[in-house]
Amino acid sequence: MVALVDTHVHVNFPELATDLAAVRQRWQAQGVIRLVHSCVTPDEFGTLQAIAERCPEVAIAVGLHPLSTAGFWQAAVGDRIAELAQSDRRVVAIGETGLDFYKATNQEEQIAAFTRQIEIAQALDLPLIVH
Ligand SMILES: [Zn+2]
């Protein structure tokens, strides 16, 4: 069996998190040996750490999804992302971030959040997960 790495999962979403043990069995059965858990908002970070505790093959990203920026983006959020990224050795990427002008129209907030997360990724020498 080919060993697989899933570079983008959100197993904290309720439809998966409520059955995490079975979800994990399915990824293991398919040969997935490593996963990167993407992040919608930094508020998820504790939950992502708990998943990584249960499933050591899960690495963590921290960031702010473009569709979660509306009314939420501010410089302090960027500072928090940078702090969290440095707080846990399981963090392997910043994101997910990016721009989504199809589903949302808050272009200025999205651009500010994306720009800041690019800067954080560069400063910490981490990959960036782009939506
Ligand atoms: Zn995603």
Residue-range domains of the chain with CATH = 4-130 (3.20.20.140)
Whole-number pLDDT of residue 107? 97
pLDDT recorded at residue 34: 98
- What is the per-residue pLDDT for 1? 84
CA of 76 from ligand 1 middle (Å) equals 22
- What confidence tens digit (pLDDT) does each residue in 110-122 have? 999 999 999 999 9
The pLDDT tens digits for 41-98 are 999 999 999 999 999 999 999 999 999 999 999 999 999 999 999 999 999 999 999 9
Q: CA–CA separation, 103 vs 92, rounded Å? A: 28
| Distance from residue 79's CA to the centre of ligand 1 (Å) | 21
pTM exceeds 0.85: yes
Name residues whose C-beta falls within 8 Å of residue 112's C-beta, 6 or more positions apart in sequence: 69, 73
pLDDT value of position 66: 98
* HEC readout, the chain: CCCEEEEEECCCCHHHHCCHHHHHHHHHHCCEEEEEECCCCHHHHHHHHHHHHHCCCEEEEECCCHHHCCCCCCHHHHHHHHHHHHHCCCEEEEEEECCCCCCCCCHHHHHHHHHHHHHHHHHHCCCEEEC
Ligand 1 centre to CA of 107 (Å) is 19
Q: How far is the CA of 97 from the centre of ligand 1 (A)?
A: 9
- Cβ < 5 A residues, ion ligand 1: 38, 96
What is the per-residue pLDDT across 1-51, written as a single tens digit (0 to 9) for each? 899 999 999 999 999 999 999 999 999 999 999 999 999 999 999 999 999
